[in-house]
Structure 1
């Protein structure tokens, strides 16, 4: 992204915060794993959305007093000894070029700088990202006793509303993540055979991602054969594939912090049994119907209810239930979620979202029949457009005929 993207995002945040306020966002730090080893660092997504900087420990501060907006970035103090071990950290000029903030200071100046802002103010709003446990909560505990004249506000909801609608640059990153994911799925499908372990097959996807420069996956890959596919978040991936199994893959590459999220289910043997085909086509019909309904002005909650009703009808046809109310025995999640910098991207409270142009949502109906060892989910990523939608995952094979033809080769 060019720095203008982050400048524009900050301007939109300024428009939404109250006067007489400061907003503080933390890049975060890599949590400790064990001994002297840390987990890989990934930036707080709201910090990244407003700065484009993906190093740990930095802090963004926005101030708004008497209608005047000011921006500050506090970067880590330079430690030349540690840089010999871990590499150089960002310099002021580099930071300015990435995010477009001219006032760049060092972290050692932060506390005194905030003291100066708060001093002599009768009342002050401090906006922090308080959606999940993160560095903001540590800071909140620190300032509760330090300042008496502050009112704490949650910046997450403000930024979430902005992140729901993607720009063309963001959509292009999602497209790239999807392109890599599709290549990875096709690679693992080509190499599927009975007797393999789920993790062996998963490795064919990982190889493509690494080869294409992917640093991190959107989430831990689900590779679930047979009845394992009836467990929504099955990630052990250590069971042997059997000849008549279906295997469900739920996976995604991450490209420059933007994610793909695709689910595909296919037969290990390359051919669906009659029953597997019946269930698969039932799920596929719901997938395609829901996608056809997605357009600006449609409410997510309405299509979520429609999906549940449609799956209930399919379950009745399949002889699984007699009453629609019993559908939760075989379908126990929502139809999808927002997709972006997080796989389960920002959501409004209660998922009370009305689709707008530029939103990206997954569509992932499923039917899970443990007693038959059949778990099927078909997930696509859908962009809401001006007049309807675009299926971003349209190049991923999906029908029974396409899957069997592809695997026969």
Structure 2
């Protein structure tokens, strides 16, 4: 891992919070992600399952966490199982967690090798009535690949059919949505690295550069600052490409007079940041471009003020839609008849602003969070309104990352990243 070590107190605290919500005489099991094959002997880079990382800090393949708070013996209450390492593995694959190092990372005293998992779990099952399985229930989930968790669940149901089943995900959906101070500090570092990349790109961009060259500038700056890379597939969308919401080809030339929409951000220690900015290729917005830009910025600023404790996500988006409608009327993109004749399921503003304004952010870019629960302090949300105008050849999106505060407006983790149109022009022409 490139990131500096995380204090294990975070993971000790996270396990305590999860265990406190488990039923009596129950056990919970969490598996690492697989390493996915490409072809021949090639694989995708490993990315740890966020749940086992959240609860243990173990950032390694073939890891299993078992929690059994009511076990009669202390050594069975928390166990981290790891693939046994040796000198051969160290030479060919690099250093893996030893038992001593795993304790330093996680704070779990009982570290065991994977070959002991089945017999240890058999003993634990004799003391328990319920097992918590870890299914993916995120509202945007669409998974077609069988995961290590899936295989474990099938094996467990065949092996222990008399046990009751409970779900880890509803507990984690809430716990992970409310960040500890250490997590917010890690997300701030991800945002700081993103800022470095954005400032680098402001000095690099000019007519004639290619989108992929800009992508390369971002990843250079991210990697040299201890990020593993992009928090998600980067969007570098010049001209009309910005009107494709998930444009990821990044293979077009950036032309004089066009805008470039960036939706690109760094991860740090598995925590995501999520930035959107829109800049002029030649360093100067046209009058119309700046007019639309400032309308988007106004919507973002007004939406930000609504991110307060007690706010409901669904109602929040209704209110943001009203603000956006007003701005679109002012820009001449909508008229009163459009609004009067709009359909409730597709308000008129959605012809120019099709996506949501905010989502949870954390270990995942679209992080855990129960959308029917009111917002709470230390939840982190994006704010990302946009206006997309294919007929005029550009789209604009602006996005920051906000931490809900106990009182008042949220704290902007991206408050130091340039966003005012005049500041961007000044920096690009310095």
- TM bin, normalised by shorter chain, reads over 0.9
Query: Is 1:101 paired with 2:114?
Result: no
| Distance in 2, Cα, partners of 1:353 & 1:376 | 30
- In structure 2, what is the Cα distance between the partners aligned to 1:211 and 1:87? 21
**Counterpart position of 2:21:** 16
Range 86-95 or range 369-378, more displaced: 86-95
Q: Which residue in the other structure is 1:27 paired with? A: 32
Deviation at 1:82, TM superposition (A): 3.1
Taking the TM superposition and a 5 Å limit, the aligned residue runs for 1:332-347 are: 332-347=354-369
Q: Deviations over 1:276-335 (max 9, x none)?
A: 111111111101111122222222222211111211221222222232322211111111
Match of 1:75 in 2: 82
Aligned to 2:211: 198
Equivalent of 1:167, from 180, 200, 213?
180
Give the one of 373, 381, 384 matched to 1:361.
381
User: 1:238 is matched with which residue?
Assistant: 251
Give the Å deviation of 1:68: 8.0
1:379 aligns with 2:384: no
Q: Secondary structure at the match of 1:358?
A: coil
Contact 1:270 1:408 in 2 (8 A): yes
Q: Which residue of 2 aligns with 1:130?
A: 135
Give 1:152 deviation, angstroms. 2.4
Q: 2:219, 2:229 within 8 Å by CA — same for their partners in 1?
A: no
> Who is 1:4 aligned against?
9
Contact 2:81 2:114 in 1 (8 A): yes
Is the 2:176–2:369 contact (alpha carbons within 8 Å) kept by the matching residues of 1? no
Structure 2 unpaired stretches of 5+: 1-5, 340-346
TM-score by length of 2: 0.90
Kindly indicate whether the alpha-carbon contact (under 8 Å) linking 2:187 and 2:268 is maintained by their aligned counterparts in 1. yes
Q: Once superposed, what is the RMSD of the aligned Cα atoms?
A: 1.7
Return the offset for 1:179.
0.9
Cα deviations by residue, 1:193-251 (Å, 9 ceiling, x for unpaired): 11111111221111111221211221111000111101111000001111011100011
Match of 1:278 in 2: 291
Q: Bigger shift: 151-160 or 228-237?
A: 151-160
Gaps of 5+ in 1: none
Q: Distance in 2 between matches of 1:282 and 1:257?
A: 34
Q: Deviations over 1:255-277 (max 9, x none)?
A: 11112111000111111112111
Using the size of structure 1 for normalisation, the TM-score is 0.95
SS at match of 2:159: coil
Listed as ranges, the matches of 1:138-157 within 5 Å are 138-157=151-170
Give the SS at the match of 1:104: strand
Equivalence map 1:217-296=2 (5 Å): 217-296=230-309
Q: Is the Cα contact below 8 Å between 1:23 and 1:128 reproduced in 2?
A: yes
| Maintained 8 Å contact 2:19/2:69 | yes
- Secondary structure of the equivalent of 2:68? strand
Q: Secondary structure at the match of 1:77?
A: coil
* Aligned position for 2:427: 406
Task: Choose which of 45, 49, 70 in structure 2 pairs with 1:44.
Answer: 49
